[in-house]
Each structure stands twice: as C-alpha cells, then as structure tokens.
Amino acid sequence: MSSALTPGAIDTAVVVCPRPELPEARVLGARVAGVPLLTRTLLTAQRAGIERFAIVATTSQQATLRAQLEGEPRLRGRVRWFEPSEDPRPQSAHSLVLPPSVIVDAGALRAWLLRVVDGGAVTAPDGGWIGPLAVPSALLSPCIEAALRGQKGLLGFLEELHREHRLERVPWDGVRHQPVRSLGEVPAVEQAMLAALRSSEDGPIVDRFVNRTVSARLTRRLITSRVTPNQITCASLVIGLAGAWLLGSEGMLKSLWGLVLFQLSVILDHVDGEVARLKLLSSRLGKWLDNVSDHVVDLAVIGLLTWRVAGNGPAAHFVALGVVAAFGITLAFLVVFRWSVSGQRLEVRTTTPAHLLARALTVLANRDGFCLPLWVAILLGRPTWFLWALALGANAYWVAWLFIYGLPSRSMEAVGGSASQD
C-alpha cells in the first residue's frame, strides 16, 4: 500500500522545455509580473522546498534561457542544463517534473508535495490539468520525452499511465494553477494572480472597497518596474508620518489632507505585499519592515492626535488617554505579530462560546478597525472619540486574543519563523 513520502524526499525539479517548433515553446521568453517565466518556475519550486534543478532544453533554447537566469543569486549553483538526448541522472528516488508555462503557488505546491505517494506510480494533481508531476526515477526518461512534445505529449503519457494503473491523483489545495498558453494571455494571468492575493482577513469595508481596489491598480503598474517592495514600504512610512503630522494640526482642511495621506499609506502597505508576492521577493526582513512601519505610523497618529486634543482640555487627562491607547495598540500588535512569524496555526483552545469571539477577532484583525474610527472621529470633529475607541477596543482585543489563543510555543516558533513570508 502506498504511503506519503517523507518531507524533503523530492529535492530535485526537472523543467522540460517543449521543442522549439511547438506553439507552447513561444511563451518561454515571456515575463509574468516582471519575472521571466522560467525564473518564476524555479523560484516557486525553491520556495516549496526544492534544492536542485535540471533544465532540459535544446541548444538554441538554452542560449536564450541562460540569459534569463543570469544575475539571479538565489539560483546560483543550483541549476544544471541538459540536452533532450541527455539523462538528468536524478539523485533521489523521485523527481518533480515542472512544465515551465504553468504558474503555481509555492505554498500550494509545498503542501501537495507532502502528500505525494511513495511507490512506482507517477503522482499528478487532481482535476486533470497538466501541472507538477512527482515521477519515480524509473519513469523519468519517458516522462521527459513526453514533456518535450508539449501538453499533448504529457496528456498522452498520463492517459497511458492511467490505463496501466501507474497514475495516482493527489488533491491540490489552495491557489489553482495559471497556464500561460500565449503572450496575449499574460495580462489576464497577472490579473488572476493579483486577485488570488486577496485575503479572507481583509476588512469588509475599507480594505475591500478602497484599499484593495486602488492597490491592485498601483501594483499592476509597479510589477514591471524596478521598484522594490522595501522601497514601497519606506514610501508608505514617510507618507503615513506626514499624514499623522497633519492630523495633529488644527483645522478641517489639514485634517482631511491628513486622512488622505494616511489612507494612501495604508494602500501602499497593501501594494508592497502584493508586489513582493507577485515578484517572488518576499523575505523575513521585508515582513518585519512592513509590520513595524505600520505600527510606527499608527503610534504617530495616536501621539499627534493626543498632542492636538491635549491643547484643548486637561492635558494630563488626554495624555493618559493617549498612553493607554498606544499601549493597547502595541500589545495587540505584538501578540498578533508573534503568531504571524511563528508559522503556527491558530487554534481555539477553549469552549464553544469562545469560537464566536475568535471569529470576531479574525474580522477585526485588519486595518478597518483603525481606519474607520479614525475617519468617523475626524470628520465629526471629535478626535477624542478615536482615542477612547482605541483605549478601550485595542486593550480588549489583546486580552481576548491571549484568552483564545495564548502565545505560540517557542519550540515551534523557531521552526516556523525561519521561513520567508509568502
């Protein structure tokens, strides 16, 4: 009876380029979200845990494709090149065979690889689409020969294996594949990839109808530029601090401009993550920079609003209110961020009524909980209301979070926190 392979059992990916005369070979030079298609295929597999790569391509194809990989330090020393007549000689019992014209999500690929069965059969995703294949060494050569004939060749190969009972279908969970069949399909593929980045944790109002709508337009323009995600994060920080300064000033006009700049900062906070994931530039440093800069802007808004209202009433009273609000926001940030970098799954550890509270925490774990009260309070000319809302709401939030989830275990935190953010 077949069983799942041990994690890391597949450490080599074989990328087979269709023969140059086939229509699907024409897309090998395409750039998707600013990244060459072959480079994207290799980096996605690397993020899924693959360490070595073998590229099977003709001499003419290799001349073009080698130039695409130049200057990519993450792949240096990990790629070997083979002519179609050569044997890649895999070092493990199974290899991952990847069509270069099919875009997959690294997280979904990693999860699928953990479910690949051990045996003499080829493992393919469910649904019948041509995507990654886990191939035992005995079947690697005929699989490569079939892949050289393009999609039709692979389909025929899988149909033959099915008839011989040498094909296993393993469910594919998460983001589905995106095939690139022609250069004209690239914009639609990029749009679909961007749509897949929307999260169930996004706020139902501001995030959904404002932040994600505007960020998608900006991201589509920036993915083909040389602007890096960390540069976008720095721009978000500067703009957010400028907005906080204006919010701390008297006068409705300055307040409105402050709201606009603050909201633009939040939008850019979405853009940096979208660009990082689409261009495969996510990193642990970027995650820290992104989250810390968000928190600095939030604290600046609280501090400068406290300065503003303290001049119109009992200073000690309003300073205390601002300190309590900043304390609540900071504790909420720390407990949520610690879970985020731990890599562990959130599990409700208490009774059924706590599940309703956990659901409420999930709904509030976004920027809507900060933006909506801010806009309402400023437009009504009552900035003190915003400070009261945070002083009460943020402190209640982190207390409820610890009650429901506690803190992640340190042993697992070290493992989960070492991975790059996808």
pLDDT of residue 410: 67
Cβ atoms within 10 A of the Cβ of 93, count?
12
Kindly state whether residues 174 and 228 are assigned to the same domain: no
Residue 37 has what pLDDT?
94
For 5-98, strand residue ranges (E) read 12-16, 31-32, 35-36, 52-56, 79-82, 94-98
- pLDDT band at 422; cut points 50, 70, 90: very low
Let me know if residue 185 belongs to a domain.
no
Decide if pLDDT at 89 tops 50. Answer: yes
What mean pLDDT do residues 128-132 have?
A: 82
Q: Which residue has the higher pLDDT, 350 or 212?
A: 212
What is the pLDDT of the chain when averaged over all its residues?
A: 88
Span 312-355, pLDDT tens digits: 778 888 999 999 999 999 998 998 888 877 777 766 555 556 55
Q: How far apart are CA 96 and CA 49, in angstroms?
A: 11
For the chain, how many structural domains are there in total?
A: 2
pLDDT at 294: 94
Q: Quick one: pLDDT band at residue 82, thresholds 50, 70, 90?
A: very high
Residue 111 corresponds to which amino acid? A
Residue 98, both tokens: 């990847």
Distance set, CA 233 to CA 87, 116, 237, 333 (Å): 46, 38, 6, 18
Residue 99 lies in a domain: yes
Cβ neighbours of residue 130 under 8 Å, at least 6 residues apart? 99, 102, 151, 154, 155, 158, 179
| Residue-number span of the structural domain to which 371 is assigned | 197-416
pLDDT of residue 171 exceeding 80, the answer is yes
| CA–CA gap between residue 192 and residue 185 (Å, rounded) | 11
Residues 239 and 352 in one domain: yes
pLDDT digits (tens, 9 = 90+) for 1-49: 466 777 668 889 999 999 999 988 999 989 999 999 999 999 999 999 9
**Domain membership flag for residue 70:** yes
Rounded to whole angstroms, how far apart are CA atoms 199 and 264? Answer: 19
Contacts 24+ apart (CB under 8 A), 343-348: 343/412, 343/413, 343/415, 343/416, 343/417, 343/419, 344/408, 344/409, 344/412, 344/413, 344/416, 346/405, 347/405, 348/404, 348/405
In this prediction the pTM is 0.88
**Per the domain annotation, does 333 fall within a domain?**
yes
CATH number of the domain encompassing residue 107? 3.90.550.10
Specify whether 150 is located in the same domain as 231. no
Are the C-beta atoms of residues 94 and 135 closer than 8 Å to each other?
yes
Mean pLDDT of 108-135: 88
User: Could you tell me the CATH number of the domain that includes residue 363?
Assistant: 1.20.120.1760
Does the pLDDT at position 414 exceed 50? no
Same-domain status, 173 and 47: yes
